Structures are given as structure tokens and as C-alpha cells.
Structure 1
């Protein structure tokens, strides 16, 4: 029975940048909106690097990840969408009206006319260091994310990994740590070329192609690590005060194939220029989707969200305008503008 469930125009699965901006734009289009998020808070992948400086969002000066989340969340709540946290969606079905019923692992059910998937790479699972008993050091000086830079001030830091987050962390820590050594299995690093060049110029050592093979404890902390050259087998012991591991995330997207969604390489959802999937009324945005003009930047996810939402609006109301009016002409902003002007005059 779905009669007791509240019906929404748009439901967005995922509360990262793509999902939050899509919720805001849904409000601009006067649609009843719900956001479902797996985690205990909004933010998506940015939650993993709250102190990372983000440069490539249009109109924003260099902004810390934590601050960007706060600003996106404030914007997302402009038109008061319903937000449900701790929602691991496991079931997708349709009722007799062709509305979509979503069921979460905890039993919560959600009813919607359209669905926008903004799940990134799926439910995120951190790739852990595959060394015996490594987990015992997670409460002391083995880290899988950098929450506060000051934690590493004056310390000898070893970073294992070569993705964009590893490069960003190395650049952020180099000025405050005693030393930063980066260990990576490949010669090529992720991230923008300028960031990689800066890392190579400022970090004490960049060791490739190497991998971290042993942790040497002293009490409850790591005192040294052993690294090994993958090609020659040669080993080296390095004294350290902190080890940061960035071996990437693995995401679980298996549930999407069970729903009948067409997936391409890496399990990403294939969409057209309107962000439409192969299922009617279902759209995909952000890191989750792939299309010919895909731009894998935060700014690109905003465009995905706008296109998906406009498609959802026309699916619900075929005679509606194809796009929303700009904010300076949008009726929904008139009262909010007055409030801001009044507050500014005080």
C-alpha cells in the first residue's frame, strides 16, 4: 500500500554537491523535493577531505571542502526540501500509478514521481591498507583521511597513494610537516598537473614505483615503515611519525543493475544529453553517470543536475517551460530578496 506515503515530485538519492545543487534547482522549478542520503550528514565525497582547498568552482575563491559543503547545504535548503539521512536504498519498484517506490535497508519507504540518482561512485568504502594488523594503528597514527592539518605539524609523514587526494594532502602538509614522503606504485599521479609538479618540488621524497609493505610498531604507534621497489624488489626502512593511506574508494553500485539500469564502464550509468537513463522518469548526475560531453569537475555536476531536473519537470508537466527563469526574474526569489534587502538595511 502506498496511499499512506507522501508523494514527492522529485526524489534525489545522494547528498553530495550534485545532489545538493539539484535540490536547490528543483526548488527554483517549484517541485516538491526530497533528498535521501546514505551517510549521517550531507557532503558526499568532500567529507573525506574537509581541509582540502578547492579552486575550480566558478565564482568562488579557493575554498576549504568543509566550507563548500556548508555553503552548498545552505543553498540546498533554500526552498525547504525534505532531507532524510541514513538511507541505504535497496529496493526500487513502481505502483499502479507508475510512481516509484524506494525502500531503505532500515525499512523506510519513499514515494516519488521522478528519481534523480546522484550517488557518486556508490556507497563509499575506503580501501584499507592490506598489511596484517594494520587496523591496530588506526586509533593512533595511521590515517585514511586528513581531518585537521595541525595534527601533522612538525611530524615526519609518509603518504601511501597517488590519487588526487594524496597529491592535495602532500601539498597541504609540506609547509607544516617536518618532512613528507610520498610512496606510489606508479610513476603517474592523479590530480591536476600543476598540483603534481608542486608536490614534486616541495615534498622531501617521491618514491615510485614503490609500495608500503610493512609497519614497524613501537608501543601502540607506527615508528617506521618498510617500502619496496616493485620492479627491483629492493627494500628500505623509513622512520615516521604518521602514515596516511590514500588507496582510493571502492563503491558498491550493484543494486543499480538489479533495478534494470543500463551501466557502462566501471558500472557508471549511461545517460543522454538530457540526463535520461533507460528507465522512464529516472535520471543520473555527477560522478555516477557518463555521457559524451561529461565534465568531471564539481562545476560539471551542477550542469548535470540542472539538465536532469529540467527533464524531470517536463516528464511531470509536459507543457512546462523547458528551463527555470534566472534568479533575478524567478518569482520564487522575490520574497527572499526582500528579506535580504531588509536585513541589509538594518
Structure 2
């Protein structure tokens, strides 16, 4: 192996919700843990929509994705896992002793007893608007992400897309933008039904099945777009009538394209784009487990809440792979001695805060 590598009990590939929770939970299981993320920051897909309000995480009030990301990272660091950023994992080699050597695209190596893949859809790229000159307007008012909702105040906004982000943008911009129009190529939306109903009942002008046909602007700034209805085959005909709309901003949400990279050549079984797993989140490769959107199994729940459950199950399975006689799960935090010292530290902070409040009164 050349220079001796540091051996970890579990190496987690991916720093999104599933990977971050796996890093926390593996600490509860007294596992020596490493987390490797291809990007230079943690958060995974939540980084793509920092202003989006997330409602469906259990026990948590509605929270902006940016704040949720900070909380998940803070939790993941509870037991001081080793965190490596900016490394895309490409190679996996099983050594004679059953451990695994993991290699990155730039040649760095990692050594682990088990592996949890929490890579979501892989390297994500936004699907761009496929119209001539679209890239020129990205410098000004053609957007693929919303980082500051308030920047659209008083503007005429056109949104193209029918997924969760497009619908959420439309709902958030009501009352902020002067006008919101949403076009979608299909009559059916893939966004959450409740949010779609809310959008349709609001002042958002919803046009389906419609798509953007032409862009009009001067230099780097869009002034108007033309939209047109699509036929049953999702195409325009020669007789299609176009409608020209003046715009101050255009938001495009045509989804994300994922690239799992060389991991697809490791021999993992998959039927769809993600990897097949059993009820214990084990793949067909011994010692390799999956969590989050990377996992494909019968009762899979594609929510952040589901990613957390996947992560705990995968960690438990990794623990039992290493130590077959270990407990099947970690003791809950309210009765877990691993948190005694941390609880005392929190209680001290709370007591100081109460004293400060009394002094101010």
C-alpha cells in the first residue's frame, strides 16, 4: 500500500443531509468516521435553494434551507469526524484483509472498513435554458437559483418549470414581485400538491402546457420573452401563436442533471439511476451501504426526513458488519452516556443565560 493510511471504521461519501446525519449517528456508535465531499462546502442539494423554506423536517419549525444546512453541519460535527472537502471519489479497491482502499480523482487515498454512499444524484448540474443567446443573459436577469427573494421586489417575473423549486419560488414571490407568471411544459406539476394548490389559488398566472420560445434583450439584459402553447406531443407547430411578455427577471427551474461518475463502474446493482439496497441499506458489495437519494428500495421515502432514517440504518448495518455482536442500534440520546458531558455544558450555558436575563430585569 505504500505509505500506511489511517484506517477508519466508516467512510461516508457525500456531505448532503444523508451524509451529514450519518456522520453524527456514527459518532453515537463509537465509530471512527471520515466524511468526504466532492464540493468545497457541505450541504449537498440544500445548497441549491438556500432561500427555500423547508417545512417537512420532523420536530422543526419552517426554516430556510441555508439555516437548515448550518444546523445539519453543526450536528454532524458533534463527535469530531474527519471531514475532507474537494475530493471526488472515483476508485474502490478491496484489499486482502477485507478493508477498502478508496481513491479520489486527484489521487488521494483513504482506508476504511466500511463505506456509506450518500452521493444523492451525483455531481449536480442545473439544466440550462436551451435557447440561442440564453447564456448571455445569465450575467444579469436570467436566473437558475434564488439567493435573495427581496431582490425581485416590484419586478415582473417569469418562472419556467413545474417542480418543487419553481412552485415554491412562485408562492414566495407573490406580494413581493409586481407580477408572477409561471409556464410549464405539462399540465401536471411534480411539485408537492399542497404547494401547487396554493399557487393556483394565488395571483400567480399559471400557463400550461407552455414554454419559452424566444428571448429578446439588449446586450446582457432580457427585456421580454415570447411564450407559446405546446401540442399533445410537447412540440410547437408552424401555426403556434406566440405571446410576448415584458419581463424584469426570468427564473429557470428545469431540474438538475446528476452524474454519478466512475462509481457506476464499481459493480453496484441498480435498476434506475440509484443503487439497489435491502431493508438494511446494504448493497450487493460487502461492506458498502447507501443512504438518501442514492438508495433504491421498495419503501424509499424521497424526503430529507427519509434521508436521516436511511443514514441511521446504514450506520447500524456498517457497525454490525464490523462487530456482529454489537447492539443493533445506538441508545437514544436522552439516555445515552455519550451526551452526559455535552448536556452539562449546555446546562451551564442555559444557566448563565437565565442569570443574565434576571440581571437585565
TM-score, scaled to structure 1: 0.97
What is the distance in 1 between the residues matched to 2:197 and 2:35? 39
Task: Kindly state the Cα deviation for residue 254 of structure 1 after the two structures are TM-superposed.
Answer: 4.5
Partner residue, 2:117? 117
Partner residue, 1:31? 31
Mapped pair 1:280 → 2:286: yes
Give SS of 1:119's match.
coil
Partner residue, 1:18? 18
Contact 1:170 1:203 in 2 (8 A): no
Contact 1:142 1:222 in 2 (8 A): yes
Give SS of 2:83's match.
strand
Contact 2:90 2:261 in 1 (8 A): no
Partner residue, 2:311? 305
Unaligned 5+ runs, structure 2: 232-236, 353-361
Q: 1:97 to 1:125 in 2, by over 3 A?
A: same
Partner residue, 1:269? 275
Give SS of 1:154's match.
coil
Task: Kindly state the Cα deviation for residue 38 of structure 1 after the two structures are TM-superposed.
Answer: 1.3
Give SS of 1:24's match.
helix
The alignment yields a C-alpha RMSD, in angstroms, of 1.1
Partner residue, 2:204? 204
What is the distance in 2 between the residues matched to 1:5 and 1:133? 50
Deviations 1:270-304 (A, max 9, x none): 10000000000000111111111111111111111
Partner residue, 1:82? 82
What is the distance in 2 between the residues matched to 1:179 and 1:10? 51
Contact 2:138 2:220 in 1 (8 A): no
What is the distance in 1 between the residues matched to 2:208 and 2:334? 52
Contact 1:210 1:227 in 2 (8 A): yes
Contact 2:170 2:204 in 1 (8 A): no
- Comparing 198-207 with 306-315, which one deviates more in the overlay? 198-207
Q: How does 1:174-323 map to 2 (within 5 A)?
A: 174-231=174-231, 233-265=240-272, 267-323=273-329
Give SS of 1:243's match.
strand
Partner residue, 2:55? 55
Give SS of 1:71's match.
helix
Deviations 1:146-185 (A, max 9, x none): 1110111110000111111111111111120011110110
What is the distance in 2 between the residues matched to 1:2 and 1:110? 12
Deviations 1:4-41 (A, max 9, x none): 21111111111111110111000000101111111111
Contact 1:2 1:95 in 2 (8 A): no
Mapped pair 1:326 → 2:354: no
Give SS of 2:158's match.
strand
Give SS of 1:11's match.
strand
Contact 1:116 1:282 in 2 (8 A): yes
Q: 1:341 to 1:220 in 2, by over 3 A?
A: same
What is the distance in 2 between the residues matched to 1:166 and 1:281? 39
Task: Kindly state the Cα deviation for residue 331 of structure 1 after the two structures are TM-superposed.
Answer: 2.0
Q: 1:2 to 1:178 in 2, by over 3 A?
A: farther
Give SS of 1:262's match.
coil
Question: May I ask how many residue pairs the two structures share in their alignment?
Answer: 345
Task: Kindly state the Cα deviation for residue 329 of structure 1 after the two structures are TM-superposed.
Answer: 1.8
What is the distance in 2 between the residues matched to 1:345 and 1:209? 59
Give SS of 1:212's match.
strand
Q: 1:117 to 1:256 in 2, by over 3 A?
A: same
Unaligned 5+ runs, structure 1: none
Q: 1:38 to 1:254 in 2, by over 3 A?
A: closer
Task: Kindly state the Cα deviation for residue 3 of structure 1 after the two structures are TM-superposed.
Answer: 4.7
